[in-house]
Copies of this chain bind each other. A is one copy, B any other.
Amino acid sequence: MQASKPSPIADIKPCSHDYQVNCGNCRLNSICLPLALKNEDIKQLDDIIQRSKPLQKGQHLYREGDEFQSVYAVRSGTLKAYKNTDDGKEQVTGFYFPGEILGMDGISNNIHASSAKTLETSAVCEIPFTSLEKLSSVMPQLQRHFFQLMSKEITEDQVLITLLSKNSADERVAALLLSISSRNARRKLSATQFRLPMSRVDIGNYLGLTVETVSRVFSRMQKMEILRVDNKEIEILDPEGVRSIANVGD
């Protein structure tokens, strides 16, 4: 199933590698997909997946309280997931990069437990959950893959819990930088030079810190010549230094 009719909006010329027509040739499939599906299985999966047009920065993919219907794989761009606290503030619960899956917290009640919003222009693959469930029943590998994905989300949340509970401001920021760095590396991007797609406010919110503290940590690391910070552009000058500040095994 292609772009069945050519899009009338022809003025935006996407480069070819942004126009993945199916999972089989998507360069992210090693991250997002079960590794061991047979070709005909991938075809079946492809058939249930809907690919969105690009979402603009700041658009919501879903909102807390919305009926849950699909989970989403990030194709390009970045999203943040967040919850609204009872006193009206916001808690960022995660950042999602290309190849990563979000929306699974909606399965439990059929209602999204958090909101998801793009941090920049992004595109996602929508995977309707009832179709996925049916397919999982006949494809044990796929069932296993989704159990694993959800379990991974749990273990990652536990890492964040530990970070928030036990680590200093510097350690938290260093750990986030390492996490982003290794997720970049997984996509064959630079592990030492990248652009932070989220604001300082979002970083602080995610890490349980104020903006001011995040900013100070960056300044401190820059003074120590561990990091070069140019607005959102980050260069890790001393990866070992960052790791030693984080004291977490990446």
Q: Which of A120-167 contact B (CB under 8 A)?
A: 133-134, 136-138, 140, 143-144, 146-155, 157-158, 160-162, 164-166
List 24 A–B pairs whose Cβ atoms lie within 8 Å, in order of A's numbering.
Answer: A83-B162, A86-B248, A91-B158, A93-B162, A104-B150, A104-B154, A107-B150, A108-B148, A108-B154, A108-B155, A109-B148, A113-B155, A133-B143, A136-B137, A137-B143, A146-B147, A150-B150, A150-B151, A153-B154, A161-B161, A161-B164, A164-B208, A165-B205, A165-B208
User: A149: shortest Cβ distance to chain B, in Å?
Assistant: 8
Q: Does A7 contact B (CB under 8 A)?
A: no
Residues of B within 8 A of A91 (CB): 158, 161-162, 165-166
A113-B158, A154-B154, A157-B157 given; name 13 further pairs at CB < 8 Å. Answer: A86-B248, A86-B249, A91-B166, A105-B154, A107-B150, A109-B148, A113-B155, A133-B147, A136-B143, A143-B143, A160-B161, A161-B161, A165-B205
Q: Does A188 contact B (CB under 8 A)?
A: no
Assess the B85–A148 pair: CB atoms within 8 A: no
Q: Which of A225-250 contact B (CB under 8 A)?
A: 247-249
Q: Which of A163-208 contact B (CB under 8 A)?
A: 164-166, 205-208
User: A160: shortest Cβ distance to chain B, in Å?
Assistant: 6
Residues of B within 8 A of A158 (CB): 83, 91, 93, 105, 113-114, 157
Q: Does A106 contact B (CB under 8 A)?
A: yes
User: A86: shortest Cβ distance to chain B, in Å?
Assistant: 5
Q: What is the interface size of chain A, counting residues whose CB is below 8 A from a CB of the partner? A: 48
- In the complex, the count of this chain's copies comes to 2
Q: Does A87 contact B (CB under 8 A)?
A: yes
In whole angstroms, what is the CA distance A114 to B155 when docked?
9
Closest to A92 in B: B165
Assess the B137–A133 pair: CB atoms within 8 A: no
Closest to A107 in B: B151
In whole angstroms, what is the CA distance A150 to B133 when docked?
14
Residues of B within 8 A of A133 (CB): 140, 143-144, 147
Q: Does A13 contact B (CB under 8 A)?
A: no
Assess the B89–A148 pair: CB atoms within 8 A: no
Assess the A152–B89 pair: CB atoms within 8 A: no
User: A155: shortest Cβ distance to chain B, in Å?
Assistant: 4
Residues of B within 8 A of A248 (CB): 85-86
In whole angstroms, what is the CA distance A153 to B107 when docked?
11
